[in-house]
Structure 1
Amino acid sequence: MSKEKKTASMAGRMLRHLAGTHAAARRAFPSATLKAIQANIGEGEQRHRAQIRVIIEASLSLGAVWRRESSRQRAHELFARYRIWDTEENCGVLVYVNLADHKVEIVADRGAGRVVTRQQWQEVCRVMTAGYARGSYHDSTLQALAMLHDLLAAAMPRQGDDARGGNELSDKPLVL
C-alpha cells in the first residue's frame, strides 16, 4: 500500500473513531436489545459449560487508533481486563463488537478454544457483521449467539448438576 493510501486509511479510521460515541452504541444496542442479549446468554449457558461475555465498544481512543491497535488486540486486552479467562474450566468466551471498525472478534480461553474450530468462530462473526451492515444489530446478534450456543452445546454439553459453581461471568452485555 502506498504512503498516500496508508495516510488516507489512517485518517478515515480516525474520523470513524471520533464519530463513534457512546450514544451511537446505545442507539445500535438499546436497552431492549441488551436485555435480550443478556437473556439469550443466560438461557444458552444452561446447555453448555462455557461462559460467554459480550462487550460492545463504540470506538477506540485516538491514542489506540494512532498506535494502530487492531480490534483483535483490543479484544485480547478486554479479555484480560475483565478476567474472562478466570473460569474453573478455562471456558470463557468474549464476543467483542467494535462499532467504529465494523469488527466482531471472538476470544476464547483454552477450554472452549480447543473444541470449536477457527472457521466456526469466524462464521459466528460473519453472521453478526453481515447483519450489522444491514443495520440489524438486535436480530443478528441473537442469531449469532444462538449459533455459538449450538457449537458449545455440541462440544461441551452441560451435564446434570454441573460441578462448576454456576454462572461465573456476568451475562449482562457491557457497553463501553
Structure 2
Amino acid sequence: MTHKNSMIKRLLQNLIASVLDLLRIGDGPLSGFTLLRKYFSTKDLKEITSAVGSSEKSHRGEIKVSIETKIPLFQLINGKTASSRALEMFSFLKVWNTEEKTGILIYLLLSEKKIVTLADKGIYKRIGQEKLNSISEIIGEGFRSGKPKEAILTGIKELTEELTKHFPAKRKNPNEISNEPYIG
C-alpha cells in the first residue's frame, strides 16, 4: 500500500470513529463512545481495572491502559501515528512519574486497531522493547480473534510475569497511577 493510500485509509478510519462518537446513544459512562462500546462493556472495563490492581500487588511496576477511539483528525492530518500518540499519552498520563521509573502504558487505538506498549527507563533496563512488542502482538491477536477484553487481560498477565520476575513487590508498594483505563 502506498503512503498516500495508507494516509487515506487512516483518515477514513478516524473519520468514521469521529462520526460514531457524534451518535451518542443511551446514557451512562460509555454513551458517547460507541466505538468503545463495540469492544468493551462497562463490566469489561471494571475487570481490566481489577486485573491491573491485582497485578500490581505482586510487583513494583505501574500498568496503565489507555483506550482511544480515534486520533483527533487535526493531529492525524499533521502526521500523528499510533506510536507518536502513545508516546504523547505516556507523558499526559504521567506514566513516567513513578518513584522507580517502572511505569508501563498499554495504548489501544480502536479506529486503526493498533496496540502500542511503552515503558519507562527503569523497565527498559531489564525488560526490552522487543518483549513489550511481543505483548502488543499478543493483545493484537486477541483483538483479531474477537476477544478484546481477554486480549488485554492476557497482556496484563504477561506483563505481571515479567514485572514480578524483575521488580518483585517490596513491603512498601504504593499505587502511584490509577488502575482504571483512561478512555479518550
Which segment drifts farther, 133-142 or 40-49? 133-142
In structure 1, the gaps of 5 or more residues are none
Q: What is the distance in 2 between the residues matched to 1:108 and 1:88?
A: 14
Q: Which one has more relative contact order, counting CA pairs under 8 Å at least 6 apart?
A: 1
Decide which of 4, 8, 14 is 1:7's aligned counterpart. 4
Decide which of 47, 51, 57 is 1:36's aligned counterpart. 47
Does residue 138 of the first structure (1) align with residue 149 of the second (2)?
A: yes
Does residue 103 of the first structure (1) align with residue 100 of the second (2)?
A: no
In structure 2, the gaps of 5 or more residues are 22-32
Deviations 1:90-138 (A, max 9, x none): 1111110011121111111111121112221111101111111122111
RMSD between aligned residues: 1.3
Q: What is the distance in 2 between the residues matched to 1:66 and 1:156?
A: 40
Structure 2 length normalisation: TM-score? 0.88
Q: Number of residues paired by the alignment?
A: 170
Instruction: Say which SS state the counterpart of residue 117 (structure 2) adopts.
Output: strand
Instruction: Say which SS state the counterpart of residue 106 (structure 2) adopts.
Output: strand
Match runs of 1:40-79 below 5 Å: 40-79=51-90
Decide which of 156, 174, 177 is 1:169's aligned counterpart. 177
Identity %: 27
Instruction: Kindly state the Cα deviation for residue 8 of structure 1 after the two structures are TM-superposed.
Output: 2.2
Structure 1 length normalisation: TM-score? 0.92
Letter of the aligned partner of 1:73 in structure 2? Answer: S
Q: What is the distance in 2 between the residues matched to 1:19 and 1:113?
A: 36
